[in-house]
Amino acid sequence: MKTMTYRYTDELKKLRYFHWDSCRLCNYNFIQGDACNSGYRSNGEPLYVCDNCTIHLTELAARETYSPRPYEIPTGHSTLWRYMDFTKFLSILDTQSLFFSRVDKLADPFEGARGTIDHRQTWDNHLFTSYKQAALYPPGGHQCTLTAEQIDTQSRQQVSITNTNCEKARQVTYINCWHENHSESEAMWNLYSTDTTNAIAIKTTQDRLYKALGENLNILIGRVKYIDFNANLPALNAVFWSKRVSFEHEREVRAIVTNFGAQQFEGLQMPCNILELIESVYISPTAPSWFTQLVQNVATRLGYQLKIFQSQLKATPLY
């Protein structure tokens, strides 16, 4: 077994990010617990491979245990929409940034939740058992030297620490939300603008969003999974990718970033390439006729030549 160098180039990071689930040489699909290996060929080409293909690695950057992502990355051409008031649209153009809301400031109190309060004992029991098993059976063939009492005490302490960290995680996690749909949504116009007569929708794609945010791999982009908390509970690493099933109509794709620095009270402004982000802009179907020209004029004055269209929902019906 080669010694791990833990050297990660940007190319290797991107390879792992976009192809996490399979070997890049033989296309073997990893399953939970498999070993996945990151490194380089003799010519410096980055590789991410299964154990059978490690013979092609001259340098082993890291060997990890595979676990599926807690979210699904949409295809690059997936169409995304963000509905907003005119003032928020102007803020995006003016600041050349996207606003990421701090999770504990979002309207839905279940953002980042592990379930309902009724699940507290279920979680505590699960965590206690997991930490106890980890103490009893250390990795690498090592023997446990703790007494049963010490193991129980240590496991209870770890449960308390985990519960505290889960609450604190909502204060350092920031989210920017999008609606995935090949066409406009009448419901989204009404849900995400306080006044539909001056509402705007930005149309983009998964690939454009990723590039507009600087291909920053610290910003994770993926689909939200909708679950019934009465029947299922999210994994610890999936709490920010899970919402109650009653929100399923949102078809949300979200960008998530974690910031452990100084807490920002409301959220973070993340730099964004506006021309890369915006494929086109749509004007609310209830907006007055002069509003489209106003949006065009203001965007031009700010230095942007954007494709701006009236909502297709405003088309005249034929009876």
Radius of gyration of the chain (CA): 24
Tokens of 48: 């991410």
Q: How many domains does the chain have?
A: 3
Residue range 144-175, pLDDT digits in tens = 888 999 999 999 999 999 999 999 999 999 99
* Amino acid present at 211: K
Q: What contacts 297, CB < 8 A, 6 or more positions away?
A: none
CA distance 208 to 81: 12
The reply to whether 3 falls in a domain is no
Q: Where residue 264 falls among pLDDT bands split at 50, 70, 90?
A: low
Same structural domain for residues 193 and 177?
yes
Tell me the mean pLDDT in the region 234-251: 95
Question: Are 302 and 156 in the same domain?
Answer: no
Q: Please tell me the predicted confidence (pLDDT) of residue 194.
A: 74
Tokens in use for 13? Answer: 């990071």
Please provide the average confidence, as pLDDT, over all residues in the chain.
Answer: 94
Q: State the pLDDT at residue 301.
A: 96
Q: What's residue 52's pLDDT?
A: 96
Assess whether 163 and 239 both reside in one domain.
Answer: no
3-state SS of the chain: helix, strand, coil percent to 5?
40, 25, 35
The model's confidence at residue 261, banded by pLDDT at 50, 70 and 90, is: confident
Domain annotation covers residue 213? yes
| Residue 71, domain member (yes or no) | no
Asked whether residue 159 is assigned to any structural domain, the reply reads: yes
Shared-domain flag, residues 162 and 192: no
Mean pLDDT along residues 240-258: 96
Domain boundary, last residue among 130, 151, 170: 170
Distance of CA 51 to the CA centre of its chain: 29
Same domain, 158 and 175: no
Q: Give the separation between CA 198 and CA 177, rounded to whole angstroms.
A: 20
pLDDT value at residue 20: 95
Strand partners, 65: 35
Residue with tokens 């792992």: 16
In a domain, 4, yes or no: no
Q: Let me know whether 46 and 193 are in one domain.
A: no
The secondary structure of residue 28, as a DSSP letter, is P
**Confidence at residue 143, expressed as pLDDT on a 0 to 100 scale:** 87
How far apart CA 40 and CA 112 sit, in angstroms, is 37
Residue range of the domain that includes 158:
117-170
Q: List CB contacts of 115: < 8 A, sequence separation 6 or more.
A: 122, 123, 229, 233, 234
Q: Is the pLDDT of residue 12 over 90?
A: yes
Q: Are residues 299 and 206 in the same domain?
A: yes
Pairing of strands 242-244, 173-180: unpaired
**DSSP symbols for 171-224:** HHEEEEEEEE-SS--HHHHHHS-S-GGGEEEEEEEHHHHHHHTTT-TTSEEEE-
d(CA 100, CA 104): 12
Residue 50 burial class via C-beta count within 10 angstroms: exposed 0-12, middle 13-18, buried 19 and up: buried
Q: Are residues 88 and 223 in the same domain?
A: yes
Q: What is the pLDDT of residues 23-39, one digit of tens each?
A: 999 999 999 999 999 99
Torsion, Cα of 35, 39, 41, 44 (10° steps)? 170
Phi then psi for residue 27, to 5 deg, are 65, 20
Is the model's pLDDT at 263 over the cut of 80? no
Q: Are residues 121 and 267 in the same domain?
A: no
pLDDT reading at 294 higher than 90: yes
Least confident window among 70-74, 198-202, 258-262 = 258-262
Threshold 0.85, pTM exceeds: yes
Assigned domain for 5 exists: no
pLDDT at 262 over 70: no
- 210 and 233 belong to one structural domain: yes
Residues 188 and 301 in one domain: yes
**How confident is the model over 122-132, as a mean pLDDT?**
94
141 and 23 within one domain: no
Residues in CB range of 97: below 8 A, 6 or more apart: 269, 270, 271, 272
pLDDT for position 314: 86
What is the average per-residue pLDDT within 42-48?
97
pLDDT for 165:
95
Structural domain includes residue 70: no
